[in-house]
Amino acid sequence: MDKLSDSDDETLLRDAARGFLDEYAPLSVFRKNRDAGRDYDPVLWAEMAQMGWTGVMVPDASGGADMGHRAAGILSEEMGRTLSASPFLSTAVIAANALRTSASAHLTSIAKGEATYALAIDEGTKHNPAATALSVQTEGNAFRLSGHKVFVADGTTASRLLVLARTSGSPGDALGLTLFDIDAARAGIETDPIQSIDSRDFARIDFDGVNATGDDVVGDIDNGLAALTPGLRAGQAALAAELTGLAAGISAMTNTYLKERKQFGRTIGSFQALQHRAAHLFAEIEVTASAIAAAGRALDANAENAQTLVSLAKARATRTARLAVMEGVQMHGGIGMTDEYDAGFYMKRARVGAEWLGDYGHHAAIVAAARGL
């Protein structure tokens, strides 16, 4: 099944999501939240919970809708079109997938929209979970976490944190890592907001002897990557879908502008050179959207064998979003970079999305290795 032959259920989900977001979360809402210094609208998040979006990856037994990865990708793609800001990726996708095999009691809170999560894993400028150095002192069944995490999405607003820490070995070792699920308000946690160009919630989080117990461990001690990986894969696929929706959103805005802006007595969209560029971008978005659909369906069929398709989708989505925003800003002319126009918002979000959860080089290397290159 290719991108253009979504199932009836997928088509209904996409139509419902697009209608809801166009009405309640258009670009004007993003601008309003940014101007008010608000990371996202809690009322909108509550509405998403009512629609079952927060439980899209939560099992039925925990009160979720359990619609699967393809459904999560469709929702993410539609959110990307309007740059809708919410904890959806961090909470409903990444945390829900990381916690579902442990049958965490917090899954029900995720499905209800009550708990929001932030993923505290990276400590450097690039995505590299194995490089974790955040240390853990062990005292019987108790742990004390000390260190820092950077580029933590939803870090200032989340009620809970998924924290990757080193319980043995050295930074760079894939083993020796443990995943903790802890309350964001726990003593010893200090959160500092990071000024992000896309006006989203990112933070640096410092841990100063933060207490944890065995009940806070997700999965097995010293094998935290095994517990985290399902969440990372799901998040990378959903973020790729968001970037593809972003590309479609800026492309639609640009096409409208080409039909309205006049130069030399005719609309600039009538110039063949711009038509060729718009057609090329359309083709790139369609191919990338097919890669997104393939990744989502592969995750639903056999998640453990889907990483290559997920990385292909993230790499393509990063490149396509970059092309879309560059073309969009250039075709708008100089005004495309002014705050008065919304085109610049897409460019800023595309830049951040390109880095989060692994940049183009990170995912291209995974694809190349899978192909024996």
pLDDT at 225 exceeding the cut of 80:
yes
Q: How far apart are CA 250 and CA 256, in angstroms?
A: 10
- Model confidence pLDDT, tens digit, residues 114-142: 999 999 999 999 999 999 999 999 988 89
Q: Which CATH number is 119-222's, of 3.30.200.20, 2.40.110.10, 3.40.50.1370, 3.40.50.2300?
A: 2.40.110.10
Distance CA 14, CA 251 (A): 18
pLDDT for res 2: 47
Pick the more confident residue, 326 or 6. 326
In this prediction, residues 240-248 reach a mean pLDDT of 97
Q: How confident is the model at residue 256, as a pLDDT?
A: 82
Q: Does the pLDDT at position 108 exceed 50? A: yes
pLDDT recorded at residue 5: 63
Inter-residue contact 134 to 178 (CB < 8 Å): no
The span from the first CA to the last CA of the chain, in angstroms, equals 28
Query: Residue 291 belongs to what H/E stretch?
Result: helix 272-302
Determine contact, residues 1/297, Cβ cutoff 8 Å.
Answer: yes
| Phi/psi-derived region of residue 176, left when phi > 0, alpha when psi is between -120 and 50, beta in every other case | left
Tens digit of each residue's pLDDT (9 = 90 or more) over 287-318: 999 999 999 999 999 999 999 999 999 999 99
| CATH topology identical between 3-116 and 119-222 | no
Is domain 3-116 given the CATH code 1.10.540.10 in the classification?
A: yes
Going from N- to C-terminal start, the domains of the chain cover 3-116, 119-222, 226-370
Residue 112, pLDDT > 90, answer: yes
Q: What percent of the chain has pLDDT over 90?
A: 79
Which of 23-32, 172-181, 225-234, 263-272 is the least confident region?
A: 263-272
Judge whether residue 1 has pLDDT over 90. Answer: no
pLDDT of residue 334 exceeding 70, the answer is: no
Q: 226-370: which CATH topology?
A: Butyryl-CoA Dehydrogenase, subunit A; domain 3 (1.20.140)
